[in-house]
Amino acid sequence: MSIQLTDKVSEAARRDILDLEKKISTFQSGDIADEAFRKFRLTRGVYGQRQPGVQMIRIKLPHGRITADQLIRIADLSDKYATGNLHATTRQDIQLHFVKLADSPQLWADLEDAGITLKEACGNTVRNVTGSARAGVDPSEPFDITPYAYSIFDYFLRNPICQDMGRKFKISLSSSEKDSAYGYMHDVGLVARIQDGQRGFKVMLGGGLGAQPFSAQTAFEFLEEERVIPFIEGVIRVFDRYGERQKRHKARMKYLLNDIGLEELLRRIDEETPAIKNKAFLVDSSQFSVSDQYAERPEASNYQLTIGPEQSQNSKLSTWFKTNVFEQKQAGWYAVQLRVLLGDMHSDTARALAQIVKQYAADDIRVTVNQGYLLRYIRPENLTAVFEALDALGLAEPGFDTTADITTCPGTDTCNLAISSSYGITRALEQMMHDEFPDLVFNDDIKIKISGCMNGCGQHSVANIGYHGSSLKNGAYVLPALQVLLGGGFNGKGEGLIADKVIKIPAKRGPHSLRFLLRDFEANAFDGEYYSDYYARQGKNYFYQLLKPLADLKTLVDSDYIDWDHTEQYVTEVGIGECASVLIDLVATTLTEASEKLGWAREALTESRWADAIYHAYNVFITGARAALMSRDVPTNTQHGIVSDFDKTFLGEPDFHQAEGDFKTLVFSINKQEPSETFARQFIAQAEAFLQAVQAYRETQIELEGIPELQELTQAQDS
C-alpha cells in the first residue's frame, strides 16, 4: 500500500517518510542489518517496545506547544494505529504505543499534514527542545522564550552537524530564574535574562541524568540573544568531534565536559567559530505568539474573579482555583493547568479537551514537563464553566505540580529497559497521599518523580523525593525494589540539586517509605523550610536510618515478590532488546554509509547550502577513515581520535600518499574556513577522492586476504 501524502507535507518530510517506507521494506526482506535499520528508524521517532513486534512512536512537539486541531489529529491517529492513548512525557512530547512498524510511515505522513514531526525524536540527535510551559503568560518572565525555543528546534532539525552524534543531546529554555524547564540537568540549559536593556540568556552546559547524574556548569551568566544559536552550534560541533562513541554510558556531553574542563571546552567551541553558518542569529520574537489577538479585552470582560458562596460550597472547585489556576502577566486573563495521572489521556478525552480549548481558550495548548497540560487566555467569567467541563472529563483534579502530582515514566508497561513497574507504584503513592495527606495538593515545594530504571526518563534524580525501579535478591528469589533518592530539585535559594541515593527497599514498601518521609518532615522541619534544605540539614545517614527498617528482608511476605499492577511472581527481566545479534561485514556497511553522506554533500552543494555541504563532506572523511581502520582491526572511538589514528596507521601508504599529519590538516580545515562555495566544492572533491581511495584499498585487501568473516554486532537500545 503506497503512502498517502498531502500537499501540506514539506519536501524534506516527504522524502523522510518515503525513505522510512523504503527502509522498512528493505529490512523486512532481510537486505539491511538490524542495527543499521534500528539506527535509522530511531532518528525518525520509531522506537522498539518491550513487547516484540510493536513500536512506540514519539511525536516531537517543540517546547510542548500544540493546537486544538493537532491534538485532535494525534487522538484520531492513536485510535487508528495505536491503543487510543496519548502519553505525555517529561520532554513535552506525546507518545503512542503498540504501533505496527509497517504503519509508521503513514502515521508520520498524517502527522506532517497537521504540521507535526517525528524527525529526530529519538536516536543520537538533538532531541525535543523543551521550555517553560508558562512561557508567554508567566508573570515573572522578562520576555517570552517561545520563539527562541521554536527557532532552536527549527535550526537544528535536519542539520548535518547533529545527525549522527555519539549520543543524544538535550536543550531547554526556562522563562525565569525559577528554571522551571530544569536547565541544570540539560546538555544546554538557557534561562531568560535582560541585562542593560538587552535580551539574552544565562547559559549552562553539561548537565544530565542517567546512572551518573551531573549538574550543569555555568558557561555565561549572560549571553546576548543573537549569540545563543551560534554558540549552541559550536557546542554541538565540539561534542560531535570529541565525544565518546564506543562506551555508550560515557557518551554524553557531561563526560566530555568533566574530562576536559569548562575552560578547554569553551576554547574548542571558539575554534569552531569560522565554520559556523551564522555568526549571529537574531530570532524574530514576534513569531509564534498568540498574545496579540488578546491584547485588548472586550468591553464586557471587566469581570472581577472572586471565590463566592457558590464556589466556596464546592470544595473541589475552590481548591482547583487555588492550585490549578493563575492570573497571567496579561492582566485579567487566566491560565488553567491540567493534572493528568501518569501523563495518559484517552483519545476521546483529548478530542473533548480540544473542544473546550476552542470554546474558552487560546489555540495554544502546552504539554508540561510534569506530564500535564496548560491552557491559556481564559476569561475569568468562564473559569467555572471550564472547571465543570474539565471535571466531566476527569481533568480537574486539584494539585497541579504539587507533591500529590507525581511525575513518572511508563516503566515495565512498555519500556525495554525498565526493571519494575512505575505506573503501579505511582498510583499507590498518589492514593496514599490522597487518603492520608490531603493537604499536599497545596504543597508545591516537595516534588516526587519516579523512573522504572536508573536511566531517569521520570527524572528521579532531580526530585526532592525520587524513586527508580530496581530489584533485590533474597536467597534464591528476586523481588521488585525501589531505590530511594532524596534531596534533589530546588532548595530555598533556587539552586538546582542532584538527589542522593539513600537506600533500596522492596517495591511494595514504597507507600510506607513515603509515609515515613512525609511524617518526619511534618514533625521536624522548620517553618517554611524547603525539603531539600531539610534533607541537607539532617544529612543522608539520618534518612538512611529512618528508612532502614523497610529494607529488612527478614520481614518479607509473599506479596513482596509480586510487583505493583501484577499478579504473577516477579522475575528480573529487561525486555527484548532493540536489536538481536546480527552478522554483517562492518567495513562494507561503513563504506556504504560514507557513500550516502557523500550523496547528501552533493545535494546540499546543488542547493547552495555551503555549510551543510561542508559538514556532510567532513563526515565522509570520518566515516571513510573509520572503515579503513576497521579493515586493519584498529578500534575507533571519537572523531578526533579516528583522524589521528588514520594518520598514524596509514602513514606512507601508497593508496593514500600522505605524510604525517596531512590527513588531520585536511579534515580539520573544516573549522579554519568560512563556509563558502569555493571551499565547499574543494572539500567535497577531496572527500570524494578520499572515499574512492579507501574503497580501492578495501578491494585490494579482499583480493589479497579473501572475503572477510562476518562479524557479530550487538548494541543496547537507545534511551
Let me know: does 405 contact 372? Beta carbons within 8 Å. yes
How does pLDDT run across 535-547, given as a tens digit for each residue? 999 999 999 999 9
* Range(s) of the domain holding residue 533: 407-561
CA 352-127-498 angle, to 5 degrees, is 95
Mean residue pLDDT of the chain comes to 90
Say whether pLDDT at 258 is over 50.
yes
Report the C-alpha gap between 348 and 542 in whole angstroms.
Answer: 48
Instruction: Verify that 461 and 541 share a domain, yes or no.
Output: yes
Q: Is residue 401 part of a domain?
A: no
- Chain Cα centroid distance, residue 471: 26
How does pLDDT run across 82-111, given as a tens digit for each residue? 999 999 999 999 999 999 999 999 999 999
Instruction: Verify that 102 and 171 share a domain, yes or no.
Output: no
Give the domain CATH number at 606: 1.20.120.330
Q: Is residue 577 part of a domain?
A: no
Q: Is residue 1 part of a domain?
A: no
| End residue of a domain, out of 561, 591, 614 | 561
In the structure, what pLDDT confidence band is assigned to residue 709 with cuts at 50, 70 and 90?
low
Strands 171-174 and 130-131, by their bridges, are parallel
How does pLDDT run across 261-276, given as a tens digit for each residue? 999 999 999 999 999 9
Mean pLDDT in residue range 462-477: 93
Q: Is residue 571 part of a domain?
A: no
Give the domain CATH number at 27: 3.90.480.20
Instruction: Give bridge partners of residue 490 from the DSSP assignment.
Output: 496
| End residue of a domain, out of 218, 248, 275 | 275
Instruction: Verify that 446 and 546 share a domain, yes or no.
Output: yes
Phi, psi of 454 (to 5 degrees): -75, -10
Please name the residue that has the C-alpha cell 532488546.
577
Q: What pLDDT does 88 receive?
A: 96
**Nearest CA-CA partner of 482 in 497, 471, 490:** 471
Q: What pLDDT does 296 receive?
A: 46
Q: What pLDDT does 707 receive?
A: 66
Say whether pLDDT at 576 is over 70.
no
Lowest-confidence pick of 82-91, 145-154, 435-444, 589-598: 589-598
Instruction: Verify that 364 and 415 share a domain, yes or no.
Output: no
* Residue 376 vs residues 135, 146, 147, 387, 656: alpha-carbon distances, Å: 10, 14, 17, 14, 62
* Residue 379 vs residues 325, 353, 476: alpha-carbon distances, Å: 12, 17, 62
How does pLDDT run across 177-208, given as a tens digit for each residue? 999 999 999 999 999 999 999 999 999 999 99
Instruction: Verify that 447 and 378 share a domain, yes or no.
Output: no
Grid coordinates representing 639 are 572523531
How does pLDDT run across 322-368, given as a tens digit for each residue? 999 999 999 999 999 999 999 999 999 999 999 999 999 999 999 99
Instruction: Verify that 537 and 588 share a domain, yes or no.
Output: no
The residue ranking higher by pLDDT, 711 or 229, is 229
- How many structural domains compose the chain? 5
Q: Is residue 124 part of a domain?
A: no
Lowest-confidence pick of 192-201, 395-404, 406-415, 676-685: 406-415
Q: Is residue 679 part of a domain?
A: yes
Instruction: Verify that 418 and 533 share a domain, yes or no.
Output: yes
In the structure, what pLDDT confidence band is assigned to residue 34 with cuts at 50, 70 and 90?
confident
Instruction: Verify that 385 and 462 share a domain, yes or no.
Output: no
Let me know: does 192 contact 174? Beta carbons within 8 Å. yes
Q: What pLDDT does 229 receive?
A: 98
Sign, CA torsion 74/75/77/82: positive
Mean pLDDT in residue range 133-150: 97
**Nearest CA-CA partner of 367 in 601, 91, 48:** 91
Say whether pLDDT at 295 is over 50.
no
Q: Is residue 35 part of a domain?
A: yes
Burial of 442 (0-12, 13-18, 19+ CB in 10 A): middle
Instruction: Verify that 590 and 692 share a domain, yes or no.
Output: yes
Integer Rg of the chain from CA = 27
Instruction: Verify that 612 and 689 share a domain, yes or no.
Output: yes
Q: Is residue 219 part of a domain?
A: yes
Instruction: Verify that 412 and 545 share a domain, yes or no.
Output: yes
Report the C-alpha gap between 260 and 254 in whole angstroms.
Answer: 10
Instruction: Verify that 508 and 654 share a domain, yes or no.
Output: no
In the structure, what pLDDT confidence band is assigned to residue 585 with cuts at 50, 70 and 90?
low
Say whether pLDDT at 302 is over 90.
no
Say whether pLDDT at 719 is over 50.
no
Give the domain CATH number at 219: 3.30.413.10
Give the domain CATH number at 365: 3.90.480.10
Which amino acid is it at 555? Answer: T
Q: Determine the 3-state secondary structure of 255 from DSSP.
A: helix
In the structure, what pLDDT confidence band is assigned to residue 304 with cuts at 50, 70 and 90?
low
| End residue of a domain, out of 359, 392, 425 | 392
Sign, CA torsion 378/382/387/393: negative
